[in-house]
Amino acid sequence: MTPVADTQALKPITDALAEGAGHLHIPDGAAMVLAVSGGPDSTALLHGAALLAPGRGWRLTVAHLDHALRSTSADEAAAVAATAAGMGLPAEIRRTDVTALAASEHRSVEDAGRQARYRFLEQVAASHGPETLIATAHTADDAVETILLRLARGSGLRGLRGIPARRGRIVRPLLHARRAVLRAALDTAGVAYVSDPSNADVAHARNRVRADLLPALERLNPAAVEALTRFGRLSADDDDLLDALAASELAQRRDPADASIDWHRPPARALGRRVLRQAIGDPAPSAERIDALLDAAEGPRGGLSIEMGAGRSASVRERRIRLE
């Protein structure tokens, strides 16, 4: 990675970042922690934000978590720190043994790394104040890959929303941009970045989607990414509407005296699932547990109890659902 050298060549990145910042209403003067892995997408975020920051008064901090998964990871962390210093930006660098973390938390290495990264970013942002934003470099390609993976796994509308542009203090101003456009701009400008060899490992489902499924869809429809991102937005709109309807339905059905839920006249299944998920809360029970509870509540028998996971249960008696 090298400091910004060719601002004109990087214009596709600054244009995309400015557009995304506008959609997200990132204000002038905002404090932002940039999640920079050293890969091409986060390198684009770093250089684009550094170019826009003077005119917008953004106060930037670079954050990099070394997952200790490759022999070169310490060198990559040092390169991120050096690039930040060359741009006059403060950097927070931390090393975590993600393999050991995955074993201790009984997670996959990928999931443990993601969780560790977001914990680290939240800690860095919190140290800079409650209004500090965290900017990640997710692209339209990432969002579509997520949608396709969840679709293949049988997800409902919630999963088909893809990656949210904003969640809490986390913002993704490049979520509408194509990965290839960002990388082409970096290459034209002569900006170096790290290529993670694990991205070519088709043992990972996401990499198979990236290498095989998405190109096949683009051969079928050259605008497949745009179509699928639109599908994600429509799914999000429908999901929000159903959540609002479910909240209203739950309020009408819940007895304030004992918090039981009246199920004498069951709603449509799609709405009923959401009513129960909202009533039970996080972590959300599996779809199988929710359907088992609905079957019990709508069936002829009473006096049934259904385990909801995480030490929770629900009982059905006289067409009323009680959560414990």
pLDDT tens figures, 240-273? 999 999 999 999 999 998 889 999 999 999 999 9
Ramachandran class of 295: left when φ > 0, alpha when ψ lies in -120 to 50, beta otherwise: alpha
* pLDDT of the residue at 5: 54
* pLDDT of the residue at 200: 76
Mean per-residue pLDDT, 210-214? 95
Strand, helix or coil for residue 291: helix
CB 14 within 8 A of CB 177: no
DSSP per residue, 191-253? ------GGGG-TTSHHHHIIIIIHHHHHHH-TTHHHHHHHHHHHHHHHHHHHHHHHHHHHHHH
The per-residue pLDDT for range 51-66, each reduced to its tens digit, is 999 999 999 999 999 9
Strands 320-323 and 261-262: antiparallel
Q: How far apart are CA 320 and CA 324, in angstroms?
A: 13
The per-residue pLDDT for range 117-164, each reduced to its tens digit, is 999 999 999 999 999 999 999 999 999 999 999 999 998 898 899 999
Mean per-residue pLDDT, 59-76? 94
Cα-Cα end-to-end distance for the chain:
54
CB 293 within 8 A of CB 276: yes
Q: Please state, in angstroms and as integers, the Cα–Cα distance from residue 33 to each residue in 45, 158, 241, following that order.
A: 11, 28, 32
pLDDT at residue 305 is higher than 50: yes
CB 115 within 8 A of CB 107: yes
pLDDT at residue 88 is higher than 50: yes
User: 105-114: which pairs have CB atoms within 8 A and are 24 or more residues apart?
Assistant: 109/69, 110/204, 113/67, 113/69
Q: What percent of the chain has pLDDT over 90?
A: 84
CB 144 within 8 A of CB 225: yes
76-90, 161-175, 188-202: segment of lowest average pLDDT: 188-202
In the Cβ-directed half-sphere of 62, how many Cα atoms lie within 13 Å?
A: 29
* pLDDT of the residue at 3: 45
Strands 59-66 and 31-35: parallel
* pLDDT of the residue at 1: 44
Q: What is the mean pLDDT of the chain?
A: 93
Confidence at 35, pLDDT banded by 50, 70, 90 = very high
Confidence at 2, pLDDT banded by 50, 70, 90 = very low
Note the pTM of the prediction, 2 decimals.
0.87
* pLDDT of the residue at 198: 75
* pLDDT of the residue at 195: 85
Mean per-residue pLDDT, 207-225? 96
CB 294 within 8 A of CB 314: no
CB atoms near residue 77 (< 10 Å): 22
77-86, 149-158, 200-209: segment of lowest average pLDDT: 200-209
Confidence at 7, pLDDT banded by 50, 70, 90 = confident
Q: Tokens standing for 217? A: 């869809």
Q: How far apart are CA 276 and CA 59, in angstroms?
A: 43
Q: How far apart are CA 123 and CA 135, in angstroms?
A: 14
Strands 166-167 and 91-95: unpaired
Q: Which residue has the higher pLDDT, 201 or 26?
A: 26
* pLDDT of the residue at 45: 98
Confidence at 49, pLDDT banded by 50, 70, 90 = very high
Q: Could you give the residue ranges of the DSSP H alpha helices within the chain?
A: 11-24, 40-56, 73-86, 98-105, 109-127, 140-152, 157-160, 179-189, 205-208, 214-220, 224-253, 269-280, 287-298
Mean per-residue pLDDT, 83-105? 94
Write down the residue that tokens 């709405």 correspond to: 271
Amino acid at 3: P
